[in-house]
């Protein structure tokens, strides 16, 4: 009987301690200011289309400042949308950690082919058929297709091709090869 009472009292004590500790933690995290931005490009060994500096520059231009502001006021969903508007970014996850940092994880698009069409326009196509422009600072090591390749988009087009697969029997065969 005495053993049971000790057991119950110890569980009540542990529960009470957890409630008090969590209340102090939640008050502190509500006042925590953003003291840094940590950008992780998860596939930087394969492609180097973007750097951490590029991402912080995009945030400075397209979003209100985050450094020095309370973490609870930082909208991570909005930050994800801004970064995913960059044509080479496939997926973004933004979150805040307990140390006061805004963390941004990025996965880049992975080109499978570089196309140089008959007009001299050059672009990449990724695994999903997404058109990615050529960047001067980095060239992806992929197969190059050139010659008479009829393009169904403007020279400055970014995104998915208007027809997937492109119209015409020749381009359909090429599309099948590139996407398998």
pLDDT single digits (tens) 5-19: 777 888 888 888 887
Distance CA(128)–CA(48), nearest Å, equals 19
- Residue 104 CB contacts under 8 Å (≥ 6 apart), including other chains: 37, 38, 39, 40, 55, 79, 83, 92, 93, 94
Domain 36-108 has CATH 3.10.20.310: yes
Flag the least confident range among 40-49, 59-68, 155-164. Answer: 155-164
DSSP 32: P
Calculate mean pLDDT across residues 77-106. 93
Rounded to the nearest 10°, the torsion over CA 136, 142, 146, 152 is -80
Range of weakest confidence among 22-26, 58-62, 79-83 = 22-26
Taking the domains of the chain in order of start, what are their residue ranges?
36-108, 111-179
């Amino acid at each position: 009987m005495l053993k049971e009472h000790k057991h119950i009292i110890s569980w009540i004590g542990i529960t009470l301690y957890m409630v008090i500790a969590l209340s102090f933690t939640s008050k502190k995290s509500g006042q925590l200011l953003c003291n840094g931005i940590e950008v992780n490009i998860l596939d930087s060994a394969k492609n180097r289309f973007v750097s951490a500096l590029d991402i912080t520059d995009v945030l400075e231009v397209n979003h209100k400042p985050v450094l020095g502001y309370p973490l609870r006021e930082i909208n991570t969903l909005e930050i994800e949308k801004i970064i995913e508007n960059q044509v080479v970014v496939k997926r973004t996850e933004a979150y805040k950690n307990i140390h006061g940092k805004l963390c941004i994880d990025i996965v880049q698009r992975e080109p499978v082919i570089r196309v140089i069409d008959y007009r001299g326009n050059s672009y990449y196509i990724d695994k999903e058929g997404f058109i990615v422009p050529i960047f001067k600072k980095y060239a992806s090591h992929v197969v190059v297709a050139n010659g008479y390749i009829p393009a169904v988009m403007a020279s400055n087009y970014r995104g998915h091709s208007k027809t997937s697969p492109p119209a015409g029997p020749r381009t359909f065969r090429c599309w099948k090869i590139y996407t398998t």
